[in-house]
Amino acid sequence: MLGGFLDRWLTGWRAKALVGIGLVVLILLPPVLGANSYVTQLLLTLFVFAVFGHAWNLLAGYCGLLSFGNQVYVGIAGFTMGILVYYGGVHVWVALPIAGLVSAAFAYLLAIPVRASLIGPAVLKPVAIGVAVWIGYEILVFYDPWWDVFGDPYVRRVMILLIIFLGAMPLLTLEGAYFAVATWLIAAAVGTVFNEWKLVGAGGGMRIPSSVTLEEMYYVGLILLVFATWIIRALLNSRIGLALTAVRDDPEAAGTVGVDVAKVKLLAFVLSGGLTGLAASLYFIEAVSLTPPSAFTVFWSAYFVFVVVAGGMGSLSGPIVGALIFVVIDRLLSGWLDQPLLILGLASVAVILVLPRGVIGAVDVLRRSRDARSAWRDLFEATALADLIGRLGRRRRGRNGNTVVAAYLVPGTPLPLLRPEAPGWKALFEGCEAAARSLEKARPDVLLVYSTQWVAVLDQLWQTRPRVRGIHVDENWHAFGDLAYDFDIDAELAQACIDQSDDVGVRSKPVNYDRFPIDTGTIVAANLLNPESRWPLAVASNNLYHDGALTGRLAALAVQCAADQNKRVALIGVGGLSGAVHRREIDPAEDSFAGDADDHWNRRLLDALIAGDAAQLRALLPDYAENARGDMGMKHLEWLLGGMGAQWCGAYVHAYGPVWGSGAAVVELALDERLARRGRARGIPVEAKRRLTVSADAPDVPATASAGRAAPAPKPAAPAHTAVATAPRRASVAAAPAAAAGNGVLYRNFRTQAEIDAQYDVEASVENFGIYVEFFLSNSERVRRKLKPELDIAYGPTAAEHLDLYPARAPDAPLHLFIHGGYWHSLSSKEFSFVAEGLAEAGVAVAVLNYDLCPNVTMTEIVRQNRAAVKWLYGNARRLNCDPDRISVSGHSAGGHLTAMLMATDWAGAWGLPRDVVKSGCAISGLFDLAPFEHSWLQPKLKLDAGEIERNSPIRHIPAAAGPLIVTLGGGESAEFHRQSQDFLAAWTRAGLKGAYLDLPGLNHFTVLEGYMDRRSPLSSAILRQIEETRGG
Amino acid sequence: MNEDLYWTFIDIANGLLSGVMLGGYYAIIAIGLALTFGVMRLVNLAHGDMLVLAAYLAVLVLQFVPISPFITLALVIPVMFGVGYALQRFLLNAISVQSMERKGMSAGFGLMSPILVTFGLSIVIAHALLGGFASDARIIRNALSYSAVRLTEDLNLSTLRLIFFVIAVAILVALHLFLRRTHAGRAIRASADDAEIAPLMGIATPKINALASGIAIAIAGVAGVMVGMSRTFQPFDGPVFLLVAFGVVIVGGLGSIVGSLVGGVLLGITQVLAGTYFGPSAQLVAGYILILFVLAVRPQGLFARRR
| A582-641 pLDDT tens trace | 877 788 877 888 888 888 888 888 888 888 888 888 888 888 888 888 888 888 998 988
Q: Which is higher by pLDDT, A42 or A349?
A: A42
> Of A809, A886, A919, which to mutate for an interface test with B (greatest number of B Cβ within 10 Å)?
A809
B271–A811: do the CB atoms touch at under 8 Å?
yes
Shortest CA gap B108–chain A (Å): 6
Specify the pLDDT at position B209: 87
Per-residue confidence at A235, pLDDT binned at 50, 70, 90? confident
A165–B122: do the CB atoms touch at under 8 Å?
no
Instruction: Please report the residues numbered 773 through 802 in chain A whose beta carbons come closer than 8 angstroms to any beta carbon of chain B.
Output: 785-786, 788, 790
Q: What angle do CA A83, A86, A88 make, to 5 degrees?
A: 75
Ranking A499-513, A715-729, A755-769 by mean pLDDT, the lowest is: A715-729
Residue A811: beta bridge partners?
none
User: pLDDT at residue A724 above 50?
Assistant: no
pLDDT tens for A124-143 read 777 888 889 888 988 888 88
Smallest CA-to-CA distance from A276 within A22, A62, A67, A23 is with A67
Specify the pLDDT at position A21: 86
Q: What percent of chain B has pLDDT over 70?
A: 86
A192 lies within 8 A of chain B by CB: yes
pLDDT tens for A906-925 read 898 878 888 889 999 999 99
User: pLDDT at residue A101 above 90?
Assistant: yes
Q: Which is higher by pLDDT, A6 or A636?
A: A636
Ranking A5-14, A303-312, A329-338 by mean pLDDT, the lowest is: A5-14
pLDDT tens for A194-209 read 887 877 776 667 888 8
Specify the pLDDT at position A299: 78
Specify the pLDDT at position A361: 39
Specify the pLDDT at position A744: 66
Specify the pLDDT at position A5: 56
Within 8 A of B255 by CB-CB distance, chain A residues are none
| Euclidean distance between CA atoms A1024 and B216, whole angstroms | 36
pLDDT tens for A930-944 read 999 988 888 888 888
Q: Please give the average per-residue pLDDT across A543-559, as a whole number.
A: 86
A724 lies within 8 A of chain B by CB: no
Q: Please give the average per-residue pLDDT across B65-86, as a whole number.
A: 92
Smallest CA-to-CA distance from A434 within A268, A253, A661, A668 is with A668
Within 8 A of A836 by CB-CB distance, chain B residues are none
Ranking A3-7, A714-718, A974-978, B177-181 by mean pLDDT, the lowest is: A714-718
Domains of chain A in start order, with CATH, are 2-115+170-395 (1.10.3470), 404-682 (3.40.830.10), 753-1029 (3.40.50.1820)
B127–A181: do the CB atoms touch at under 8 Å?
no
Per-residue confidence at B146, pLDDT binned at 50, 70, 90? low
For chain B, strand residue ranges (E) read 148-150, 156-158
Ranking A224-233, A310-319, A982-991 by mean pLDDT, the lowest is: A310-319
Specify the pLDDT at position B196: 66
- Give the highest mean pLDDT range of A267-281, A749-763, A870-884: A267-281
Q: What percent of chain A has pLDDT over 70?
A: 84
Q: Please give the average per-residue pLDDT across B10-15, as a whole number.
A: 82
A881–B280: do the CB atoms touch at under 8 Å?
yes
Specify the pLDDT at position A318: 81
Ranking A256-260, A813-817, B248-252, B259-263 by mean pLDDT, the lowest is: A256-260
| Euclidean distance between CA atoms A1011 and A1017, whole angstroms | 5
Nearest CA in chain B to A837: B154
Pairing label, strands A662-670, A508-511: unpaired
B148–A842: do the CB atoms touch at under 8 Å?
yes
Cβ-based neighbour number of residue A117 at 10 Å:
16
Smallest CA-to-CA distance from B85 within B20, B32, B157, B140 is with B32
Shortest CA gap B38–chain A (Å): 12
Within 8 A of B161 by CB-CB distance, chain A residues are 810
B146–A348: do the CB atoms touch at under 8 Å?
no
Per-residue confidence at A366, pLDDT binned at 50, 70, 90? low
Grouping H, G, I as helix, E, B as strand and the rest as coil, residue B82 is helix
User: pLDDT at residue A401 above 80?
Assistant: no
Residue A882: beta bridge partners?
A813
Q: Which is higher by pLDDT, A686 or A156?
A: A156
User: pLDDT at residue A726 above 50?
Assistant: no
B282–A117: do the CB atoms touch at under 8 Å?
no
A198 lies within 8 A of chain B by CB: no
Number of A–B residue contacts, CB under 8 Å: 230
Smallest CA-to-CA distance from A889 within B254, A907, A881 is with A907
Q: Please give the average per-residue pLDDT across A672-697, as a whole number.
A: 63
Find out whether A74 and A281 touch, Cβ atoms under 8 Å: no
Nearest CA in chain B to A170: B296
Within 8 A of B139 by CB-CB distance, chain A residues are 885-886, 1031-1033
A786–B115: do the CB atoms touch at under 8 Å?
no
User: pLDDT at residue A513 above 90?
Assistant: no
| Euclidean distance between CA atoms A459 and A880, whole angstroms | 60
| Euclidean distance between CA atoms A963 and A294, whole angstroms | 32
- Give the highest mean pLDDT range of A235-249, A289-303, A361-375: A289-303
B293–A165: do the CB atoms touch at under 8 Å?
yes
Find out whether A203 and B299 touch, Cβ atoms under 8 Å: no
> Of B29, B64, B112, which to mutate for an interface test with A (greatest number of A Cβ within 10 Å)?
B112
Grouping H, G, I as helix, E, B as strand and the rest as coil, residue A474 is coil
> Of A154, A185, A815, which to mutate for an interface test with B (greatest number of B Cβ within 10 Å)?
A185
Specify the pLDDT at position A740: 41
DSSP designation for A829: G
| Euclidean distance between CA atoms B234 and A208, whole angstroms | 31
Of B43, B95, B243, the CB nearest to A358: B95
Of B4, B15, B281, the CB nearest to A879: B281
Specify the pLDDT at position A918: 93
B139–A1031: do the CB atoms touch at under 8 Å?
yes
Per-residue confidence at A105, pLDDT binned at 50, 70, 90? very high
Specify the pLDDT at position A975: 87
Specify the pLDDT at position A352: 62
Grouping H, G, I as helix, E, B as strand and the rest as coil, residue A510 is strand
Per-residue confidence at A552, pLDDT binned at 50, 70, 90? confident
Specify the pLDDT at position A18: 78
Q: What angle do CA B116, B120, B121 make, to 5 degrees?
A: 115
Instruction: Please report the residues numbered 871 through 890 in chain A whose beta carbons come closer than 8 angstroms to any beta carbon of chain B.
Output: 879-886
A118 lies within 8 A of chain B by CB: yes
Burial A126-147 (b: 16+ CB within 10 A, else e): eeeebeeebeeeeeebeeeeee
Q: Exposed (0-12), middle (13-18) or buried (19+): which is A771, by Cβ within 10 Å?
A: exposed
Shortest CA gap A568–chain B (Å): 30
Beta carbons within 8 Å of A633's beta carbon, 6+ residues apart: A547, A548, A625
User: pLDDT at residue A107 above 80?
Assistant: yes
User: pLDDT at residue A575 above 80?
Assistant: yes
- Amino acid found at A595: G
Of A117, A181, A881, the CB nearest to B283: A881
Of B119, B158, B228, the CB nearest to A843: B158
Q: Please give the average per-residue pLDDT across B190-195, as a whole number.
A: 74
pLDDT tens for A338-351 read 665 677 777 777 76
Ranking A722-731, A813-822, A919-928, B54-63 by mean pLDDT, the lowest is: A722-731
Specify the pLDDT at position A354: 52
Find out whether A815 and B130 touch, Cβ atoms under 8 Å: no
Per-residue confidence at A443, pLDDT binned at 50, 70, 90? confident
- Averaged pLDDT of chain A: 80
Shortest CA gap A589–chain B (Å): 39
